């Protein structure tokens, strides 16, 4: 087994804790990163979905390839007047427009809308990112040509909760199948806890002797692609009150290079490089 990457050592847990002040906040945050090209320049668009007692919210940030922030926009659609609208911003000689419509959006237990919505990001009247299923409505509202967006979904960071089972969904390649992911781990009262990961109900990974192997990595196959799985369940086993377990699923062409980077760098900077693949980072919080 390879040496465990530094991003899932103690510093990785600190990043997880710092990203949320409480389990309630952590449970209701999903951050997605998209890489896009425009006029020969690379940009990263960060979409953060949130949920609290008032309803769903959305934050959009746009950075260039040097990690310089061009703009940030917060949308609070639980306010009736903000469930549908648009906003224009000027950034470095470019006009950025954001259009959204959550008027009839349907939500599941998480903060992301499931259907009947759109979010469109435009650079100089050209759509660079379009989310949601109301594509016709989005093109009509933005007056943009119905050309496909060149945005590439490169990373997702999510907080998930459970007692011994933790579930989410992920798409490991662009325009690929959406898979159900289940992480199962019973730690209470067991002398020899075991970790299992299932993709679409099929077990793809099992880690026995978890007390000795609480950090590690293993390669699985999804859609014919190798996916490197990293885990750190130290807090579950030895300090359950301090934070979450951390998992990362990464498809990668240049995996050896990426292992030398920290988690925040993989998630925030280097994912925009062509060929690096997709990363899913999960913070799994245990409900006893």
What does the alpha-carbon distance between residue 104 and residue 84 come to, in Å, rounded to a whole number?
10
Model pTM? 0.79
Per-residue confidence (pLDDT) for residue 124, from 0 to 100: 83
Q: Walk across the sheet containing 202-207 and list its strands.
A: 165-171, 178-185, 195-199, 202-207
Higher pLDDT, residue 141 or 175? 141
Per-residue confidence (pLDDT) for residue 42, from 0 to 100: 84
Q: Which domain holds residue 253?
A: 6-24+155-286
> End of a domain among 138, 153, 168?
153
Q: Do 116 and 195 fall into the same domain?
A: no
pLDDT in tens, 173-212: 777 788 999 999 987 767 788 999 999 999 999 999 999 9
The structural domain count of the chain equals 2
Q: Do 205 and 63 fall into the same domain?
A: no
Q: Do 252 and 136 fall into the same domain?
A: no
Per-residue confidence (pLDDT) for residue 1, from 0 to 100: 44
Per-residue confidence (pLDDT) for residue 283, from 0 to 100: 93
Q: Do 160 and 266 fall into the same domain?
A: yes
Contacts of 39 (CB under 8 A, 6+ apart): none
Q: Do 132 and 170 fall into the same domain?
A: no
In a domain, 262, yes or no: yes
In a domain, 113, yes or no: yes
Do residues 135 and 116 touch, judged by C-beta distance below 8 A?
no
Q: Do 125 and 206 fall into the same domain?
A: no
């Amino acid at each position: 087994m390879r040496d465990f990457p530094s991003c899932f050592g103690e510093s990785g847990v600190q990043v997880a804790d710092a990203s949320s002040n409480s389990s309630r906040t952590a449970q209701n945050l999903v951050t997605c990163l998209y890489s896009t090209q425009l006029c020969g320049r690379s940009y990263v668009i960060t979409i953060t979905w949130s949920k609290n007692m008032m309803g769903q919210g959305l934050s959009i940030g746009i950075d260039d390839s040097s990690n310089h922030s061009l703009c940030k926009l917060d949308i609070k659609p639980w306010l009736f007047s903000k469930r549908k609208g648009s906003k224009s911003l000027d950034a470095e000689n470019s006009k950025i427009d954001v259009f959204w419509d959550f008027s009839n959006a349907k939500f599941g237990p998480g903060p992301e809308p499931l259907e009947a919505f759109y979010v469109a990001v435009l650079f100089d009247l050209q759509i660079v990112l379009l989310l949601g299923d109301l594509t016709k409505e989005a093109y009509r509202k933005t007056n943009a040509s119905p050309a496909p967006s060149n945005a590439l979904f490169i990373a997702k960071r999510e907080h998930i909760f459970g007692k011994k089972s933790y579930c989410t969904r992920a798409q490991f390649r662009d325009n690929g199948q959406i898979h159900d992911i289940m992480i199962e781990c019973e730690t209470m009262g067991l002398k020899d806890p075991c970790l299992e990961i299932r993709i679409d109900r099929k077990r793809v990974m099992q880690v026995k002797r978890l007390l000795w192997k609480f950090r590690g990595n293993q390669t699985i196959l999804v859609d014919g692609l190798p996916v490197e799985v990293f885990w750190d369940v130290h807090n579950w086993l030895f300090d359950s009150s301090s934070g979450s377990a951390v998992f990362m699923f990464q498809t990668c062409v240049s995996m050896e290079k990426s292992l030398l980077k920290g988690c925040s760098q993989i998630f925030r900077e280097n994912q925009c490089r062509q060929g690096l693949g997709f990363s899913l980072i999960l913070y799994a919080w245990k409900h006893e």
